[in-house]
Structure 1
Amino acid sequence: MASEQSPLLSNTHSNNYTPSERVTEKPQQRAAGVTDTDITNEYTSLYPCHSVSNSVNSSDDEVKLSTDSSSFMPHTTNNIETMMNFMKGMLGSGILAIPAALKYSGIWVGFVSLGFLGIINGYCMNMLVHCSDSLCARTGKETMSYSDVAEEAFKAGPRPLRKFATLSRIVINVFLCITQFGFCIVYVLFVAKTVKQMVDYTTPVHLSLTLYMFIMVLLLFPFMFVRNLKHLAPFSLLANILVLTGLIIIVQHCVRGLSTVDHYPPAFAGWKTLPLYFGIALYAFEGIGVVLPIENKMRYRQDFGGWTGVLTTGMVLVVVMYMTLGFYGYLMYQDDIEGTITLNLPTGSLLFLLVKVEFAVAIFITYGLQFYVPIQILWPLAQRRLPANSWSSRHGELILRFIFVLATFAIAATVPQLELMISLVGAFSSTALALIFPPILNIITFWPRDGACGSWKMAKDIAICLFGFCGFTSGTVVTLIKLIQTFNGDRDS
C-alpha cells in the first residue's frame, strides 16, 4: 500500500532507469499463429509473479509487467528496513581503513575521489539492478543473483557470446568467493592486531601476532558448524550496534582533537601510491554482492533503484560517512595513521579501550556471515561429485569449512600487513565485481536494443569498464610489489 512507503524514499527514476524500463520488455520471437492473448494467458499461468496487462501495444510490441511483489513474496521489507539492510552490508571493516587510504592519495585528492568512487559504485549498482529486473521480466524468474544475471545476460546476448553463459556464472562466483575469502583474512588480521595491542598495553604478557591469530581461529571453530543464516542474524544485529556506536565515538574524538594539529598533510601524495588508495577505497565500497539479495526481499521493488531510490539514498549516506571519517581521521593522525584507525586510538583511556573491544567483537562475530557465502557456492559444486550417502558426502561440508578457516589463518599469518591485504582484496576482486562486470553485463543485456556502436550509453559503459580495469591492474600490481618488498624486508631483518 502506498501509505506504507516512506516519502523520503519514494522513487522518481532517472532517464536511464525509469519504472517503464523496469517493467517493459520486448517479447521473444513468436511462433506462427500465436496471438497476443495466447502470450498473455501463458505468461500469467507460468509466471504468477508478474501480472500482464490486458492490452498489448501493437505499435511498439511491448508487454507491460507489474512488479508489485507484495502479493506473492512473504517476509518482505519496507523501504526503511531495506535501506538499513543495505547500509549494514556496506559498513564493514573497510570504513576503518579509509583514513589510511588517504595517506596514499593525499587529503584533498582522496577526499574528492571518495565522492567520485561512491558515485561510480552507486551507478554500477543501479546498472546491475536494472539488468536483473530486465532479465527477470524476460525469463519470468522472480529473483536473480549476481551470477544468475551474468548467465542469463550471456544466454540472451549476441549469438557469439552465448556459449560463454556458463563460464560467466563461474567467473562471477569465483570473484565472489575470492572477495569473501579476502574479507575473512582481513577480519583475522584486524581482530588479532587489536587484541594484541590491548593485551600488550594492559598486561605484562607479550605474545606474537601469529599466536593471537591462532587463538582467534580456535575460537572461530564454533561458527564453522552454523549452517543456517538465520542463526547468524542476532550476531549481525549486535555487530551493527557495536560498529555504529564505535564510529560515533571515533569521529567526535578526531574532530575534538583537531586543535592539536599544527600542520596539514599534502593535498596529493603522488602517483606511485595512488593505486594503493584505490584498492583500499574499493574494498570499503564493495557491497554490490548484497544489492540483489536485498532488492529481491523488498516489498516495493520499484523503489529500490533510480536517483531518489533506496539504493541511491543509502549510498549517499554511506559516502558521507566514509568522507567524514576519512578526512578527520587522516587529518588527526596524518602519517602516523595505522591500517585501521582503531589502532591509533589512545590506549590509556577506558572509553577507547571499550571502542576497540567493540570493533574486535563486532568483526569477530561477523566472520561467520562472510564465511557463509563461499561455502554456499563451493559445497554444492563439490557435493555433486561425491557418491550419494557416502561418508564424504555426509561430512564433506564440515571438512570444507575446517579447511577454509585454516586457510584464512595461514594466509593471514604469512602476510600480516593489514592495509596491504585490504588494498589487494579491493584492487583485485572488489574492483572487478563493482566496476568491471556491471557495465559489461549492461552492454550484453541491452545489446539488441541499445547496442549500436555509436551509442553514448555504450561509450559510458566502456569508459567505466576501462576505468575499473586500470584500477584493477595498477592496484593489484602495485600492492603485490609492496607486499613483496615488505616480505623481503622483514626476512632480511
Structure 2
Amino acid sequence: MAGEKKQETIDPEAVIGQSLPHKFDVRGAETPENGLRSFDGIASSSISKNADDSYDPHEHRNSPNPTTNTETLIHMLKGSLGTGILAMPNAFCNSGLLIGPIATIIIGILATYCLHVLVKAQYKLCKKLKLPLLSYPMSMKYALERGPGWSKFFAPYAPGIVDGFLIIYQMGICCVYIVFVAENIKQVTDQYFSPIDVKIHMLILLLPLVLINYIRNLKLLAPFSTVANIITFVGLGMILSYVFDELPSMAEREFVGSLRNFSLYFGTTLFALEAVGVVIALENNMKTPQNFGGYFGVLNIGMTIIVVMYIVIGFFGYIKYGDKAQGSITLNLPNDAIMAQSIKLMFAISIFITYALQAYVPVEILWTTYVKHRISSGKKLFWEYVCRTGVTVVTFIFAIAIPRLGLFISLFGAFCLSALGIAFPAIIEICVMWPDTGTANFYLIKNVLLILFGIVGLLVGTYVSLNDIVNSFL
C-alpha cells in the first residue's frame, strides 16, 4: 500500500517544537517533489473502520537517525527547560506556597495524561489508515472524518485551526524569548554603561534575530543547541546557589493565593509543562516508539523529572523572593554580582540560540503550507527569506508592544495550550474511538470533561492575562 512507503520523520536534535525538515509536508506527508503522493488525497470514504489489525505503524517508520530511549529522554528534558522553568517562582507567587506544588503535580499529571491520549489516538488512527505517522493537524482532520456526524463538517477546517494555534503559540514563544534576552542583557549592561530602555535593546537584537532565522538548515545549529542545553543545566545550578543562600522562613510567604491570580498561575505552569510539539516529534523519531508510553515509559519518566524540577525552582524561588519574583528568576538576581551577571548572559545566549529553533516552526508551517505553492520556482528562495524576515519582525513588534514577560507567558500558555494540550487530544480520541464511545461510555464522559476544562482554562486564563496586560499600561 502507498502508505507503507518510507518516510522521513521529525529530527528532534535539530529542532525543538513541532518542526519539520525540508521536503517534509507540515501536514504529515512527504512533498510531491519527493515523488510520493500526499496524504491529503485520502478521502474519508477510503478510511476503513475495520482496519487490518496486523498493520503496525511503528514497523513501517523509517528514520535515518532514530533516537534511543535515553536520547529521547535527554531531548525531552532539553525541550522543556527554558523560559518556563525560570518563570515558576512568579507562578508560585500567584498560587501560594501550599497550592503551588499540589497544583503543579495535578497539572503535570493532566498534561502527561493528555499527551498519552494524543499519542495513542494517533497510533490507532495510523493503524486504521495504514500510514506510518501523521502530523497533529492531519490527525485532527482524519479523526473528525471518522467521528460522529457533526464532526465531519469541521474536518476540512481542522488543519487550519490546529496550524493557527501552533503558529500563535510558537510566535508567542519567540516574543517571550525576545523580551527575556533583552531584559537580561539590559540588567548586565546597565552596570557598566548608561542605562537605556529595554526597547532599544530589543531593537539592537532585531538584525541578529533576522540573520539567525535565515539559517534554513537547522542541523547547522545542532552544536550550538547542545551548548545551550549545557548552559541551561549549569545556570540552574548556579541560580539555586543564590536561592538557598540565606533562605527566608516559609511563614513569610502566602500559602494560598487568590482565585483570580490562580488563572495566571495556570497559564504560566501550562506554558512551562506542556510541550505537545516536542512530544510528537520525539515519539515519531524513536527507535523503539513502543517504549514511549507505559507506566515506566520515556514520557512518564521525563515528565516526572520535569515536574520535580519545576516544583523545586518554583517553591524555593518563591520563598526566596516572595511577591517580588519576576517573570524570570534571573531578573531577581543581584545586578552587581559577577556570578549573577554571568548567569543572565548565559541564559540570554542560550535563549537567543533557541529563538531560531522556535521561529522555524511558524516559518515552516506558513511557507510550506500556505505560501510556497503560490510562488513561481525562480523566486521561491527570495520569498522564503521574506517570510522568515516577516515572522521575526512580527514577533519583534509584539515584544516591543507588550514587554511584560510574566503576562506574556501566562497569556500564550492559557490561550494556546489549553486547546493544543488538553481539548484537542480529547476531541481526537472521541472521534478515533467512534462509534465505540456511546453516550454513556466512560471515554466519552471523560473526554467531554477534558474539553470543557480546556475551554474554561482558555477563556478565563486569556481574559485575566489580557486584562492584566491592559492594566499594566494604565
> Considering the TM-score relative to the shorter chain, is it more than 0.5?
yes
Q: Identify which range, 99-108 or 364-373, moves more after superposition.
A: 99-108
Note if 1:164 corresponds to 2:154.
yes
**Matched-pair contact (CA < 8 Å) for 2:57–2:132:** no
Matching residue of 1:485:
471
Note if 1:187 corresponds to 2:177.
yes
Q: 1:390 to 1:64 in 2, by over 3 A?
A: closer
For the residues of structure 1 that align with 2:457 and 2:370, how far apart are their CA atoms?
33
Matching residue of 2:28:
none
Aligned to 1:381, which of 365, 369, 375? 369
Cα drift, residue 155 of structure 1: 2.1
Q: Secondary structure at the match of 1:75?
A: coil
What pairs up with 1:430-449 in 2 under 5 angstroms?
430-449=417-436
Matching residue of 1:398:
385
What pairs up with 1:58-73 in 2 under 5 angstroms?
63-66=53-56, 69=59, 72-73=62-63
Name stretches of at least 5 consecutive residues in structure 1 with no aligned partner.
Answer: 1-45, 47-59
Q: Secondary structure at the match of 1:141?
A: coil
Aligned to 2:107, which of 117, 134, 138? 117
Note if 1:84 corresponds to 2:74.
yes
Q: 1:335 to 1:160 in 2, by over 3 A?
A: closer
Stretches (4+) displaced over 6 A: none
Q: For each residue in 1:71-105, what CA deviation from the matched residue of structure 2 results, as whole angstroms up to 9, or x when unmatched?
A: 84431111101111112121121110011011111
Matching residue of 1:233:
222
For the residues of structure 1 that align with 2:245 and 2:115, how far apart are their CA atoms?
36
For the residues of structure 1 that align with 2:450 and 2:197, how far apart are their CA atoms?
44
Matching residue of 2:273:
285
For the residues of structure 1 that align with 2:189 and 2:286, how far apart are their CA atoms?
44
Cα drift, residue 171 of structure 1: 0.7
Matching residue of 1:452:
438
Note if 1:243 corresponds to 2:232.
yes
Matching residue of 2:41:
none
Cα drift, residue 264 of structure 1: 2.6
Q: Identify which range, 103-112 or 179-188, moves more after superposition.
A: 103-112
Note if 1:307 corresponds to 2:295.
yes
Amino acid in the other structure paired with 1:185: C
Amino acid in the other structure paired with 1:303: N
Q: 1:68 to 1:397 in 2, by over 3 A?
A: closer
For the residues of structure 1 that align with 2:99 and 2:152, how far apart are their CA atoms?
42
Matching residue of 1:470:
456
**Matched-pair contact (CA < 8 Å) for 1:188–1:412:** yes
**Matched-pair contact (CA < 8 Å) for 2:96–2:254:** yes
Aligned to 2:256, which of 224, 244, 268? 268
Among all aligned residue pairs of Structure 1 and Structure 2, give the percentage whose two residues are the same amino acid.
36
For the residues of structure 1 that align with 2:325 and 2:273, how far apart are their CA atoms?
20
Cα drift, residue 387 of structure 1: 4.3
Cα drift, residue 235 of structure 1: 2.1
Q: Secondary structure at the match of 2:164?
A: helix
Amino acid in the other structure paired with 2:65: H
Cα drift, residue 344 of structure 1: 0.7
Cα drift, residue 385 of structure 1: 5.4
Q: 1:262 to 1:312 in 2, by over 3 A?
A: closer
Aligned length: 426
TM-score (norm 2): 0.86
Cα drift, residue 67 of structure 1: 5.4
Q: Identify which range, 371-380 or 455-464, moves more after superposition.
A: 455-464
Cα drift, residue 381 of structure 1: 3.2
Matching residue of 1:14:
none
For the residues of structure 2 that align with 1:421 and 1:71, how far apart are their CA atoms?
38
Amino acid in the other structure paired with 1:270: S
Q: Secondary structure at the match of 1:448?
A: coil
**Matched-pair contact (CA < 8 Å) for 2:69–2:286:** yes
**Matched-pair contact (CA < 8 Å) for 1:70–1:76:** no
**Matched-pair contact (CA < 8 Å) for 1:173–1:377:** yes
For the residues of structure 2 that align with 1:237 and 1:477, how far apart are their CA atoms?
37
Q: Identify which range, 260-269 or 134-143, moves more after superposition.
A: 260-269
For the residues of structure 1 that align with 2:446 and 2:240, how far apart are their CA atoms?
36
Q: For each residue in 1:164-217, what CA deviation from the matched residue of structure 2 results, as whole angstroms up to 9, or x when unmatched?
A: 22211111111000000000000000000001111112x132111110000011
**Matched-pair contact (CA < 8 Å) for 1:280–1:422:** yes
Q: 1:360 to 1:394 in 2, by over 3 A?
A: closer
Q: 1:159 to 1:463 in 2, by over 3 A?
A: closer
Highest Rg: 1 or 2?
1
Q: 1:439 to 1:90 in 2, by over 3 A?
A: same
For the residues of structure 2 that align with 1:106 and 1:225, how far apart are their CA atoms?
43
Aligned to 1:103, which of 88, 93, 101? 93
For the residues of structure 2 that align with 1:61 and 1:221, how far apart are their CA atoms?
47
Cα drift, residue 422 of structure 1: 0.9
Matching residue of 1:209:
198
Q: 1:73 to 1:406 in 2, by over 3 A?
A: closer
Note if 1:424 corresponds to 2:411.
yes
Q: Identify which range, 376-385 or 125-134, moves more after superposition.
A: 376-385
Note if 1:346 corresponds to 2:334.
yes
Cα drift, residue 289 of structure 1: 1.1
Q: 1:480 to 1:61 in 2, by over 3 A?
A: closer
For the residues of structure 1 that align with 2:157 and 2:112, how far apart are their CA atoms?
26
For the residues of structure 2 that align with 1:452 and 1:139, how far apart are their CA atoms?
23
Amino acid in the other structure paired with 1:219: P
Cα drift, residue 466 of structure 1: 1.5
Name stretches of at least 5 consecutive residues in structure 2 with no aligned partner.
Answer: 1-35, 37-49
Aligned to 1:322, which of 310, 315, 325? 310
**Matched-pair contact (CA < 8 Å) for 1:280–1:427:** yes
Q: 1:445 to 1:78 in 2, by over 3 A?
A: same
For the residues of structure 1 that align with 2:276 and 2:67, how far apart are their CA atoms?
19
Amino acid in the other structure paired with 2:154: F
Q: Secondary structure at the match of 1:99?
A: helix
Q: For each residue in 1:435-492, what CA deviation from the matched residue of structure 2 results, as whole angstroms up to 9, or x when unmatched?
A: 111111111111122x1111122211122222221111111001111111112x2xxx
Q: For each residue in 1:410-447, what CA deviation from the matched residue of structure 2 results, as whole angstroms up to 9, or x when unmatched?
A: 11111111111111111111221111111111111111
**Matched-pair contact (CA < 8 Å) for 1:67–1:301:** no
TM-score (norm 1): 0.83
Matching residue of 1:224:
213
Cα drift, residue 61 of structure 1: 9.2
Cα drift, residue 69 of structure 1: 3.5
Cα drift, residue 253 of structure 1: 2.6
Cα drift, residue 252 of structure 1: 3.2
Q: Secondary structure at the match of 1:256?
A: coil
Q: Secondary structure at the match of 2:467?
A: helix
For the residues of structure 2 that align with 1:316 and 1:439, how far apart are their CA atoms?
22
